[in-house]
Amino acid sequence: MEGNSEKLYQTFAAALGVDRSLVTDDLQYNKIAQWDSIAHMSLVAQLETAFDIMLETEDIIDMSSVKKAKEILEKYDVRF
Amino acid sequence: MSGSESAASNRWLQGKVALVTGAARGIGLASARLLAGHGATVYLSGRRLELLEALAQEVSEQSGAVVRSLLLDVTDPASVSKAFGSIHRENKGLDVLVNNAGVLKDALIGMVGAEDMATVFGVNTFGVLHCCQYASRLMARRGGGSIVNVSSIIGVTGNAGQAVYAASKSAVIGITKSLAKELAPQNIRVNAVAPGFIDTDMARSLSPEKFQERVDSIKMKRIGTAEDVAGVILFLASPLAEYVTGQTIGVDGGMLI
């Protein structure tokens, strides 16, 4: 669903404190200064709130890019 | 009004949601009773669901609070994920976690099997870490919370024949101090209690001679009760301790080891 993709991008932008235009599927963890481990936990909290889910620890560790985040969220019945 | 009267007239945890691990007996059950008595919605968790269901009903009737049973094996990450997922679905957050589940296997160092080492650390140490991982995220959503870890006087002082247990409980203090620092910015407090010789099934399994020897080593000359420990857990969970984090409080009657 288009709406969920945009919701995901907006959540990333808000959690990392970057412009929405910077958030693409190719954006990767630790490749920009704003997406460090502290921001990652904030991102997880905001994703969980936005999509009303609770991620498993292994999925948090595996969430290494925006593209990967989509794959993981699909496991929780979020459709893109 | 005296301090105790004031405390009795307050429900320190009204509207809060609490999870107690190892809640079927001893310190866990006493803590669950006290937290419920102070108004918290309490999850009694453990591996024996049928027993927990009966206890939850009993504690609910006594306290008037919402008390639920929850199947939880703290050594199994999948079980932990599922249990916290239930709390998330039902409450959207968590305010108090009491990491009480524990096992004791005493043996001289030359006689400790690898399997027993893994069992003790699996419950006493890794179990605490697993639960803290999920609890801290649910607490962050609420704007804060309180984690109380049950360590042991043995984890503070060490004891002959208890190297593995001592190591697992010392690790709990390390976890407590580290997470207190890590989670303070999210207003999550992390503290520990270090019970001494407490009247639980573990204590009652000692020989009469060993039992008396332990009591004789306590300055207050009596064994502690699960309620003695639960009172300190309530304090740490409550707003009374809202500026306390990273601490380990001995509840041991002045015991010397």
pLDDT in tens, B26-51: 999 999 999 999 999 999 999 999 99
- Strand, coil or helix: B30: helix
- Does pLDDT of B177 surpass 50? yes
What sign results for the dihedral spanned by CA atoms B87, B90, B96, B100? negative
How far is residue B36's CA from residue B43's CA, in Å, rounded to a whole number? Answer: 9
For chains A and B, CB pairs below 8 A equal 23
Name the band, by pLDDT with cuts 50, 70 and 90, for residue B2.
very low
Average pLDDT, chain B: 95
Q: What is the pLDDT of residue B203?
A: 84
Q: What is the pLDDT of residue B77?
A: 96
Q: Compare all CA atoms of chain B with the CA of A38 and give the residue at the minimum distance.
A: B182
Establish if A56 touches chain B: CB-CB under 8 angstroms. yes
Q: CA of B216: how far to CAs of B42, B142, B162, B226, B257, in Å?
A: 36, 45, 19, 19, 11
Is B165 annotated as catalytic? yes
> Choosing from B43, B134, B165, B243, which is the catalytic residue?
B165
Tell me the pLDDT tens digit for each residue of B48-102: 999 999 999 999 999 999 999 999 999 999 999 999 999 999 999 999 999 999 9
Establish if A44 touches chain B: CB-CB under 8 angstroms. yes
Q: CA of A8: how far to CAs of A19, A29, A40, A42, B135, in Å?
A: 13, 15, 14, 14, 24
Q: Which residues of B touch A58 (CB under 8 A)?
A: 77
Query: pTM value?
Result: 0.93
Task: Say whether B137 and A49 touch across the interface (CB within 8 A).
Answer: no
Q: What is the pLDDT of residue A17?
A: 97
- Strand, coil or helix: B221: coil
What's the rounded mean pLDDT across residues B14-28?
A: 97
Instruction: Please state which of the four CATH numbers 3.40.50.2300, 3.40.50.410, 3.90.1150.10, 3.40.50.720 is assigned to the domain occupying B12-249.
Output: 3.40.50.720
Q: Compare all CA atoms of chain A with the CA of B85 and give the residue at the minimum distance.
A: A54
Establish if A45 touches chain B: CB-CB under 8 angstroms. yes
Q: Name the one residue in this structure whose structure tokens are 């009737």.
A: B61
Task: Say whether B84 and A48 touch across the interface (CB within 8 A).
Answer: no
How far is residue B3's CA from residue B17's CA, in Å, rounded to a whole number? Answer: 25
Determine the distance from the C-alpha atom of residue B121 to the mean position of all C-alpha atoms in its chain, rounded to a whole number: 16
Report the range of poorest mean pLDDT among B18-32, B104-118, B198-212. B198-212
User: Virtual CA dihedral for B220, B36, B176, B225, nearest 10 degrees?
Assistant: 20
Name the band, by pLDDT with cuts 50, 70 and 90, for residue B3.
very low
Name the band, by pLDDT with cuts 50, 70 and 90, for residue B257.
confident
Q: What is the pLDDT of residue B205?
A: 82
**What's the full length of chain B, in residues?**
257
CB nearest A49 (choices: B77, B85, B141): B141
Q: Which residues of A touch B81 (CB under 8 A)?
A: 54, 56-57
Q: What is the pLDDT of residue B210?
A: 87
- Strand, coil or helix: B67: strand
**Phi and psi angles of residue B96, each rounded to the nearest 5 degrees, phi first:** -135, 130
Establish if A61 touches chain B: CB-CB under 8 angstroms. no
Q: Which residues of A touch B77 (CB under 8 A)?
A: 56-58
Q: In chain B, where do the E strands start and end?
A: 17-20, 41-46, 67-71, 96-99, 145-150, 188-195, 248-251
B142 versus B42: the higher-pLDDT residue is B42
User: Virtual CA dihedral for B92, B130, B133, A69, nearest 10 degrees?
Assistant: -90
Q: What is the pLDDT of residue A1?
A: 65
Establish if A25 touches chain B: CB-CB under 8 angstroms. no
How far is residue B208's CA from residue B168's CA, in Å, rounded to a whole number? Answer: 26
Name the band, by pLDDT with cuts 50, 70 and 90, for residue B174.
very high
Closest-CA distance, B240 to chain A, in angstroms, reads 28
Q: What is the pLDDT of residue B200?
A: 87
CB nearest A54 (choices: B77, B84, B130): B84
User: Which parts of chain A sit beneath pLDDT 50?
Assistant: none
How far is residue B152's CA from residue B221's CA, in Å, rounded to a whole number? Answer: 19
What's the rounded mean pLDDT across residues B135-162?
A: 96
Q: What is the pLDDT of residue B249?
A: 98
Closest-CA distance, B227 to chain A, in angstroms, reads 34
Task: Say whether A57 and B77 touch across the interface (CB within 8 A).
Answer: yes
Closest-CA distance, A36 to chain B, in angstroms, reads 15
- Residues of B at the A interface, defined by Cβ within 8 angstroms: 77, 81, 84-85, 88, 130, 133-134, 137-138, 140-141
Tell me the pLDDT tens digit for each residue of A12-21: 999 999 999 9
Task: Say whether B140 and A54 touch across the interface (CB within 8 A).
Answer: no
Query: Domains along chain A?
Result: 2-75 (1.10.1200.10)
- Does pLDDT of B201 surpass 90? no
Task: List the alpha helices (DSSP H) in chain A.
Answer: 2-16, 37-51, 57-62, 66-75
